[in-house]
C-alpha cells in the first residue's frame, strides 16, 4: 500500500499522510510540503498540520467500522486547490491505519474556479445594482407618466412631478385646483368610470392626448378619492392618421385611391348641383405599361408609376385631385374647370408632361412613356361618380381600339 502511494505521489499530483487511531502521524509523501506548509513530523498529531481533520475525529474513527470514506472537494490552501479523501487500510503488521489523500486539482479545475468566480462577481453586481436600477427606472417612468389624485368633486389633492413638469407649473399651484383646468375631457365627471380620454396643452403649447386609468380609493365601501394615471397616446393619434391616410390613398404612389376619388366626385356633384355648375375629370392610361414591366422588371414598373404620380401631382393646382384608380390608370379631378377651351389646353399640357419627363431609371435606362387620355364632364356625360368613371373607361377603350 505504502509503495503504491509513494509511487502515486511521485508520478502525479496525489499526496498522502498516514496516521493511526490516536491521530499520530505515521508517514507522509516526501513532497507534501507543496501543499502542507505547517510543520509535519512523524509522531506529531496529524491535526497540527491537517486542520481539515479537526472536528471529524468521530467520523474518522467510524471508518474502522466500515463507514464510507470521507471526501472533501476543493479545499483551498495558499493558491492550491486540492480534494481530500480519508480512508482506512491494513498495515504490514495487520494494524488498521488511516490514510488521507490530498489530490491537487489540475488546470481544468482551476479554469472552472475562475469561471465560477467571474459568474459570482457578475451576479453580485447584478443583485446589488438591481435595487438601485429599479429606483432609477421608477424615477424615469414617473417623469413620463402623469398621475394625480382628485376628490369626489374633481379637486386635485396630490400630483406627481411629471404633472408639474408637463404643465411647467409649481406643485403648490396644482393642489386644490379642479382637474378640468388642466385636462379637457368630454365628460368632466368621471366617477364610476374606469378609463377616460383627456386632452391637455403642454408647456410648448402642443395638444397631447392621454388615456387615463381611474382607480377609486376608499374605505368601508365608500369611495372618497380617485387616482388618475395618464398615459400619453399621441403616438396612437399618429397611427390613426396613418390609417386614415392608408384608407384613402394608394400605398405605392401616395396619391388618392379610387375610393377617395369617388368620395371627392360625390362632393363635387353636390357642390355643382347647389351652384348649378359643372366640373370635369380626365382619366389617364399609361400606355404600354406591360412592356415596361416585362422589359425592365416590376421594380422599374413601380418606379414609373411613382414617377407619373409625382409629375401629375406637381402639375395640378392645389384644389385638383390626382388619383390612381387601377394598375396603370390615373385620374385628375379638376376643381371648377368646365369650359371646353380651358380643359383642352390642360389635356395638351398633360400629354406633353409624359414626353418631357421620361423616367431616368438608371444611367443607361431611360424609360419613355405616353398617356392615353379621356375626358368626362358632369352633368353632360353622367349624373353620378360611378357612371362618370364607366363612361371614361368606355371612351378609353374606343380610343385604344381606333389606334
Partner 1 sequence: MIAYKVVMVGDFGVGKTSLVRRFVDNSFSEDYLSTIGVSISKKSLGNSTVMLWDIEGDTEFKPIFKQYLLGAKGFIIVADVTRKNSLESIQKHIELCHSIVSGAPICVALNKSDAPHAISEETIKSLKSLSPSIVEVLKTSAKNGDAVLEIFYMLDKNVSQTIKNRS
Nearest CB to partner 1, comparing residues 67 and 242: 67
Q: Are 87 and 18 in contact (CB under 8 A)?
A: no
CA distances from 166 to 141, 185, 195, 226, 367 (A): 14, 17, 20, 20, 54
Let me know the angle formed at the C-alpha of 191 by 139 and 219, rounded to the nearest 5 degrees. 75
Nearest CB to partner 1, comparing residues 55 and 176: 55
What's the min distance (Å) between Cβ of 55 and partner 1?
Answer: 3
Q: Which residues contact 322 (CB under 8 A, 6 or more apart)?
A: 255, 256, 309, 312, 313, 316, 330, 331, 332
3-class DSSP assignment, residue 307: helix
Nearest CB to partner 1, comparing residues 58 and 220: 58
What's the min distance (Å) between Cβ of 21 and partner 1?
Answer: 17
- CA dist 260 and 278 (Å) reads 20
What's the min distance (Å) between Cβ of 63 and partner 1?
Answer: 13
Q: Are 28 and 40 in contact (CB under 8 A)?
A: yes
- CA dist 144 and 138 (Å) reads 10
- CA dist 150 and 65 (Å) reads 79
- CA dist 197 and 199 (Å) reads 7
- CA dist 197 and 348 (Å) reads 53
CA distances from 19 to 1, 27, 177, 252, 325 (A): 14, 7, 88, 91, 101
Nearest CB to partner 1, comparing residues 127 and 187: 127
Nearest CB to partner 1, comparing residues 51 and 245: 51
Torsions phi, psi of 268, nearest 5?
-65, -35
What's the min distance (Å) between Cβ of 102 and partner 1?
Answer: 13
> What crossing angle do the helices spanning 258-275 and 385-402 adopt, rounded to 10°?
110
Q: Name the site residues for partner 1 (rule: CB under 8 A).
A: 47, 51-52, 54-59, 70-77, 81, 113, 116-117, 120-121, 123-124, 127-128, 131
Regarding beta strands 256-257 and 222-232, do their DSSP bridges make them parallel or antiparallel, or are they unpaired?
unpaired
What's the min distance (Å) between Cβ of 43 and partner 1?
Answer: 18
Nearest CB to partner 1, comparing residues 77 and 310: 77
What's the min distance (Å) between Cβ of 28 and partner 1?
Answer: 18
What's the min distance (Å) between Cβ of 145 and partner 1?
Answer: 26
Burial group, residue 117, by CB count within 10 angstroms (0-12, 13-18, 19+)? exposed
Place of cell 399651484: 173
Nearest CB to partner 1, comparing residues 87 and 302: 87
Nearest CB to partner 1, comparing residues 72 and 90: 72
What's the min distance (Å) between Cβ of 87 and partner 1?
Answer: 15
Q: Taking the CB of residue 115, how many other CB atoms lie within 10 A of it?
A: 10
What's the min distance (Å) between Cβ of 79 and partner 1?
Answer: 11
Nearest CB to partner 1, comparing residues 57 and 161: 57
Q: Which residues contact 314 (CB under 8 A, 6 or more apart)?
A: none
Nearest CB to partner 1, comparing residues 56 and 175: 56
What's the min distance (Å) between Cβ of 81 and partner 1?
Answer: 6
Amino acid at each position: 500500500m505504502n509503495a503504491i502511494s509513494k509511487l502515486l505521489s511521485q508520478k502525479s499530483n496525489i499526496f498522502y499522510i498516514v496516521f493511526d487511531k490516536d491521530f499520530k502521524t505515521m508517514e507522509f509523501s516526501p513532497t507534501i510540503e507543496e501543499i502542507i506548509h505547517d510543520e509535519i513530523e512523524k509522531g506529531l498529531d496529524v491535526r497540527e498540520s491537517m486542520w481539515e481533520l479537526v472536528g471529524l475525529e468521530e467520523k474518522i474513527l467510524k471508518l474502522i467500522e466500515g463507514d464510507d470514506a470521507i471526501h472533501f472537494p476543493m479545499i483551498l490552501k495558499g493558491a492550491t486547490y486540492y480534494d481530500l479523501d480519508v480512508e482506512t487500510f491494513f498495515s504490514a503488521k495487520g494494524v488498521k491505519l488511516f490514510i488521507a489523500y490530498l489530490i491537487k486539482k489540475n488546470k481544468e479545475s482551476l479554469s472552472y474556479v475562475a469561471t465560477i468566480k467571474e459568474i459570482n462577481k457578475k451576479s453580485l453586481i447584478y443583485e446589488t445594482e438591481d435595487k438601485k436600477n429599479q429606483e432609477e427606472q421608477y424615477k424615469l417612468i414617473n417623469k413620463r407618466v402623469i398621475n394625480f389624485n382628485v376628490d369626489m368633486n374633481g379637486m386635485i389633492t396630490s400630483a406627481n412631478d411629471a404633472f408639474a413638469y408637463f404643465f411647467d407649473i409649481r406643485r403648490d399651484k396644482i393642489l386644490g385646483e379642479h382637474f378640468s383646468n388642466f385636462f379637457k375631457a368630454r365628460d368632466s365627471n368621471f366617477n364610476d368610470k374606469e378609463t377616460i380620454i383627456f386632452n391637455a396643452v403642454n408647456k410648448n403649447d402642443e395638444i397631447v392626448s392621454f388615456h387615463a386609468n381611474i382607480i377609486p380609493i376608499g374605505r368601508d365601501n365608500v369611495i372618497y378619492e380617485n387616482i388618475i394615471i395618464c398615459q400619453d397616446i399621441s403616438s396612437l393619434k399618429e397611427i390613426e392618421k396613418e390609417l386614415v391616410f392608408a384608407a384613402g390613398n394608394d400605398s405605392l404612389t401616395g396619391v388618392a385611391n379610387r375610393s377617395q376619388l369617388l368620395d371627392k366626385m360625390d362632393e363635387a356633384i353636390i357642390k355643382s348641383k347647389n351652384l348649378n355648375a359643372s366640373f370635369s375629370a380626365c382619366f389617364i392610361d399609361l400606355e404600354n405599361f406591360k412592356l415596361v414591366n416585362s422589359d425592365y422588371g416590376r421594380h422599374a414598373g413601380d418606379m414609373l408609376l411613382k414617377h407619373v404620380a409625382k409629375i401629375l401631382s406637381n402639375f395640378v393646382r392645389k384644389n385638383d385631385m390626382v388619383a390612381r384608380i387601377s394598375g396603370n390608370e390615373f385620374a385628375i379631378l379638376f376643381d371648377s374647370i368646365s369650359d371646353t377651351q380651358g380643359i383642352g389646353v390642360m389635356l395638351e399640357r398633360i400629354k406633353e408632361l409624359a414626353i418631357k419627363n421620361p423616367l431616368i431609371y438608371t444611367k443607361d435606362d431611360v424609360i419613355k412613356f405616353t398617356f392615353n387620355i379621356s375626358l368626362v364632364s358632369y352633368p353632360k356625360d353622367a349624373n353620378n361618380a360611378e357612371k362618370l368613371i364607366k363612361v371614361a373607361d368606355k371612351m378609353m377603350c374606343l380610343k385604344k381600339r381606333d389606334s
